[in-house]
Amino acid sequence: MKIFKFSMLVILALSIVQCTNDANNDVQPENSLDQEKIPSEVLAKLESLGFDMEKTSIKSSKGGFIVDGDIFFTDKSVKEENLQKQAFFGIVDCNRAGNIRIQNALGNNAAGRGFRRGLNLWNRVNNTTLQLVEVNSNPDILVRLSTPGEIGGWGLGEFPTNGVEGGLIILNLNEPSIDGDPVTAREWGNILAHEIGHNIGFVHSEQDNLGTRVPGTPLGDPNSIMVSGSNPGIVFNANQVSNNDARAVRRMYSNRNNRLCGR
């Protein structure tokens, strides 16, 4: 979506969750493919990870690159030799996943009021050890507002690297909702859940060519909270993460012997 518009799972990251408001939203618009100013080694790395460079939008941003509208790669992560292509793109270490500290630095606005909903949409999934914990300081994930012109869609999330969750989520209050009205607190909660999905490993649910598919989940899920900007209404109107989102989280983060976070 246009940077959400800042999959599945199946693509839970089946990475860094930006989103905006037209058919090219994540819930960010698929912008024209401006890759001329992107270093060739960065393009090569992204292609090696499975991104289709004929369809992937890439934008330079402070400290890194915004890919496909709402996925943020830091300069450091792009240079990692062991950065792996996976449909969860990356995965958080089992021990870390049980206590991911996340801070609301959004302020007193609709996005700030939707913060807890974003966390709860993942925390309510049963039979998983994943737990997002709200804190006031020293967070593992900082959720903040964008500065003017920083992102072009609703939000952005950062993929995990080397077992550590992505540390940043940015939301853009200047982006209207899909109906043209201001985004409501409930909608911001859903957008935040989408971006958190990137931070814990999900790519967009349509990106069946990217990452490693979570066993037992489909190649695509049209109802996933991780759908991209091609259908932002799914994210905006979601009551919960989809059944396949939940199935993927359980396989990735649980106490089972075949959990993916322990491999």
Q: Which domains does the chain have, with CATH numbers?
A: 40-262 (3.40.390.10)
Full-model pTM: 0.74
CA–chain centroid gap for 37, Å, is: 24
Q: Tens of pLDDT along 179-229?
A: 999 999 999 999 999 999 999 999 888 776 677 788 888 877 889 999 987
How confident is the model over 98-119, as a mean pLDDT? 98
Q: pLDDT of 129-175, one tens digit each?
A: 999 999 999 999 999 999 998 888 999 999 898 899 999 999 999 99
User: Each residue of 2-18: pLDDT tens digit?
Assistant: 444 433 333 333 333 33
